[in-house]
Structure 1
Amino acid sequence: MEPRKATVALTYNGANATESIVPDLSSFSYIDVASGSSDSISVELTDRGRRWIGPWFPVKGDTLKPVIQTRNWNGDGQIQAFACGTFQVDDFSFSGGPPIRLSLEGLALPADSSFKTTQRTLTYEDATLQEIGQEIAGRAGIALFYEADTISIKRIEQTNQSDCEFYNKLVTDYGLVLKIYDNRLVVFSEARYEAKAAKLTLTEADFEPGWSWDTTLEGTYTGIKYQYTNADQNKTFTVEAGGGNRIKTSNTAADNLSEAITIALAELNTANKGTTTMSITLKAQLGLIASDCVEIKGLQKLDGKYYIEKITHSIGSGYKMTLEMRRVEERITTVTVAKESAA
């Protein structure tokens, strides 16, 4: 078999920079997160020609589009490519040598920085969660990819919050998640992705030494008691789900009983994510992304289906991936009490 090889092709500010940059590439890492934060990259370069401290000096906001390319990875002659997305230079630093070294850090952010920085006070009325997302994405100059049920919202206020902070909390309140990928806002249901078939089955033989597994009950719940009084409607919504002795309480605002049920179940299941976690490093498995599931077998009580929260791709002396995962637990999807009454 021909030797495996992994390299990075790089577009910098719209120009193909592979031939000029990659010979100076010391290491490259790409962090792919399922939700809650931006994907990121780190590029380490040697500046032997002193071009980066001179005419190629970086500027914050420069764009990078890396593509991981492999040859002979799973078979002779096999050529594959994995596009990491679009990133903006967020931070960079130099260190002395010789040679001088440059570290470039990039985040998957919209070109319009107001998405994360500008505090807004707005009111959205008679809109869906998707429509609010489209408005926010439009202000950032990017597209929205929405993969979830239609959720109607009678009225919601964005008060002295950035669009990023406000919309991330809003989708979480309804049991969904948000990520930024390749100039898109992506909203999806983790429950749907947890229900998909595992993309790979992994055993201990696939792991490098140093893997870890952990389980805890701290911060998790067996049930929820929710009660909120809507003064405008003069109604109180009461929702209960689950049972046992670890009960979460909530009074998050809702406009109707259906919304109250959605919010209560979302809060309960979100709190219970990550009861059991696992971290492993292995030879890169091409095509695996955060939000995929894998099946762990051969570790007895540790076996099960795991949802990938984060993947760190590392290219240097080889190409490895570190998976940070949580075991897929049964979600609570039905309520035992759901009623509205006069306040």
Structure 2
Amino acid sequence: MEKMQDARRAVLVLEYNGKIVTKYIADSLIDFTYTDAASGDLDDIDLRLEDKALKWQGAWTAAEGDKIKATIRTVNWDKPGEIKKLYLGSFEVDSGSVEGPPDTVSIKATSLPVSSGVRHEKRTRAWEKTKLKTIAEGIAKHAGLKLLYEATDNPSYDRIEQTDVSDMAFLLDAATKEGIAVKVSGGKLVLFDEFRYETKPAVATITRGKDNVLDYSFSWSFASKAYRSAILTYTDSSKKKTYKATYTPPGAPRSGPVLNLNEQVSSQAEAARIARKRLRERNKEYGKGTLTLMGDIRMATGLTININGWGKYDGKYIIESCVQRVGSSGFVTELQIRKVLGW
């Protein structure tokens, strides 16, 4: 008979306000969800706890700003005797609820400090003679975060205005227009180039009938890949100069609609860069998918995987969001993925 210490299992390890509380959580845990969010959203965790003794509504009640560090530890998961850890990051409690009967308590925490005003506080200001990284540095400092700038480009602006929006909303809008993704994770404000991440080697190949796929879905839409090329045209009246650039990706069809753009640029190089970025924005949603796997700690947002055994849907995908769940039903990983463009 298999001994308990030899069983395949996943354990949630929690540090709450500097104290390890794993043993106090274990008997009450219904489920735990960690969301490694898509660009523009915050990573978060959600704890659901059984509370028939009313501890989590009394002496153990969570408070706004409480700090939680979470790790998933797998034991004998892929092979006997193997122990692995996935550190999920540091989070601050920002909401809670109770419902019943029977009494259950929910505690939610996010990767952004709750005291920071960068998500809710609206501001109006102008940035002049600056770069995207400089803007991100200022916002990261205001939020109490470290900046991790992993984008290849660092666009320059003669003037860019923030008008009655939060710092995070403003940064997300500016970065998205440049094809740069934004995340808050592990105490860092991260900006990264999705194309650069798409070119990295796949962390795994998921094969139909071989890997532990619990459920899946794949789809495609021609409307999301309708444009064969992009043309940007802009006339600078002050310089009496017209910039025009065309971007046609490798393997594009010979016929089909063209994405016509008219955006302010200050050079031919910028026109070419923006044409490519806008075409990526319009066409990147062509192939989408979801996967639910037996818990897999290799998976994370921004990594790539290969899909094999689904015919038309086979290929390389980038993970847009990753959810790790641990609870009474076991340990599962849920992925939102899209097919990489390759350009």
TM above 0.5, yes or no, is: yes
Closer, same or farther: CA 222–117 of 1 in aligned 2, 3 Å: same
Q: What is the percentage of aligned positions where both structures have the same residue?
A: 33
Structure-2 residue corresponding to 1:59: 63
Letter in 2 for 1:283: M
Q: Which shows bigger deviation, 255-264 or 133-142?
A: 255-264
Structure-1 residue corresponding to 2:261: 250
Q: Which shows bigger deviation, 33-42 or 229-238?
A: 229-238
Distance 1:232 1:47 in 2: 69
Find 1:238's aligned residue among 244, 262, 271: 244
Displacement of 1:28: 0.7
Structure-2 residue corresponding to 1:103: 106
Deviation per residue, 1:141-186 (Å, 9 max, x gap): 1110001223333322212221101111111111211111012110
Distance 1:28 1:238 in 2: 52
Structure-2 residue corresponding to 1:194: 198
Distance 2:88 2:330 in 1: 18
Distance 2:25 2:264 in 1: 52
8 Å CA contact retained: 1:223, 1:244: no
Structure 1 stretches lacking a partner, 5+ long: 332-343
Deviation per residue, 1:90-111 (Å, 9 max, x gap): 332111223x100122222134
Structure-2 residue corresponding to 1:225: 231
1:311 matches 2:315: no
8 Å CA contact retained: 2:320, 2:338: yes
| Count of residues paired in the alignment | 330
1:1-343 to 2 correspondences below 5 Å: 2-98=6-102, 100-149=103-152, 150-205=154-209, 206-220=211-225, 221-230=227-236, 233-242=239-248, 244-316=255-327, 317-331=329-343
8 Å CA contact retained: 1:9, 1:22: no
Displacement of 1:43: 0.8
Displacement of 1:34: 4.2
Describe the SS at the equivalent of 1:210.
Answer: strand
Letter in 2 for 1:108: S
Closer, same or farther: CA 237–74 of 1 in aligned 2, 3 Å: same
Letter in 1 for 2:133: Q
8 Å CA contact retained: 2:195, 2:342: no
Distance 1:231 1:163 in 2: 32
Structure 2 stretches lacking a partner, 5+ long: 249-253
Distance 1:184 1:203 in 2: 34
Displacement of 1:234: 4.8
TM-score w.r.t. structure 2 length?
Answer: 0.89
Structure-1 residue corresponding to 2:251: none
Closer, same or farther: CA 209–70 of 1 in aligned 2, 3 Å: closer
Structure-2 residue corresponding to 1:334: none
Letter in 2 for 1:43: L
Displacement of 1:231: 5.0
Distance 2:109 2:203 in 1: 28
CA RMSD of aligned residues (A): 2.0
Distance 1:17 1:230 in 2: 62
8 Å CA contact retained: 2:65, 2:115: no
Describe the SS at the equivalent of 2:56.
Answer: coil
